[in-house]
């Protein structure tokens, strides 16, 4: 199954490829089937949850080129769980416009150099939450990047192999990034003004994905 130009909140720059016959679970709440609204209605609040899907640069079929971001959120409260993201050439998880949703259980693999980041948060900090995030690189690169005053709350981070753990690109407050219930415990790399090494909070147990039958890891 392949979906082009579909983005949560807007459009995906990537191709979404499901490498197993099972489909992801997508649920929408806050509205009901055939619900009618008055002509004066200008805003309708809904919740969207997406579970169990894979993005990869190439799952072996050549169907996905991995260009752009893997997942990008434009505001809202979308919640996503159980993601396998592999070798995109931009950001793995990207958000802006005050997204305040959540990501639970994401496994991110980088084995091809030249990608951008694991996280890229931009603009205002609406404090999205991230639980059980495993990101592993064999080619260096940048882990968590926050632009402007963006930030988030992270629990259960396993971050291994990146040259830069944390990049506050526009010198935002370190307190915007909460890891395991406290401000990120980080030290500037030598000669840097906004790139940090995490002293703690990045060594949680990695996600066990062997039971994720809907993916076929290439490593």
Say how many CA atoms lie within 13 Å of 204 toward its Cβ: 20
Residue-range definition of the domain harbouring residue 145:
72-198
pLDDT of residue 84 exceeding 60: yes
Looking at the whole model, is its pTM more than 0.85?
Answer: no
pLDDT of residue 119 exceeding 70: yes
Question: Which pLDDT score, from 0 to 100, does residue 23 have?
Answer: 52
pLDDT of residue 30 exceeding 70: no
- Domain membership flag for residue 41: no
- Domain membership flag for residue 76: yes
pLDDT band at 94 (very low <50, low <70, confident <90, very high): very high
* Centroid of chain to Cα 106: 7
- Domain membership flag for residue 114: yes
Task: Report the distance separating Cα 169 and Cα 83, nearest Å.
Answer: 26
- Domain membership flag for residue 65: no
- Domain membership flag for residue 1: no
């Amino acid at each position: 199954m392949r979906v082009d130009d579909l983005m949560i909140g807007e459009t995906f720059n990537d191709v979404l490829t499901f490498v197993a016959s099972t489909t992801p679970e997508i649920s929408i709440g806050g509205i009901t089937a055939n619900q009618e609204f008055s002509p004066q209605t200008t805003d309708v609040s809904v919740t969207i949850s997406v579970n169990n899907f894979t993005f990869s640069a190439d799952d072996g079929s050549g169907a996905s080129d991995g260009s752009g971001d893997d997942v990008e959120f434009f505001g809202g409260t979308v919640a996503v769980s159980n993601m396998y993201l592999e070798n995109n050439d931009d950001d793995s998880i990207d958000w802006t416009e005050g997204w305040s949703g959540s990501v639970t259980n994401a496994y991110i693999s980088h084995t091809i150099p030249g990608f951008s980041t694991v996280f890229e948060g931009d603009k205002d900090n609406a404090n999205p939450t991230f639980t059980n995030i495993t990101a592993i690189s064999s080619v260096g690169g940048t882990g968590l990047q926050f632009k402007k005053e963006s930030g988030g709350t992270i629990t259960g981070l396993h971050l291994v192999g990146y040259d830069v753990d944390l990049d506050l690109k526009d010198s935002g407050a370190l307190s915007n990034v909460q890891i395991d219930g406290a401000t990120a415990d980080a030290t500037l790399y030598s000669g840097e003004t906004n790139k940090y090494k995490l002293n703690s909070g990045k060594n949680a147990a990695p996600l066990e994905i062997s039971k994720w039958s809907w993916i076929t890891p290439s490593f």
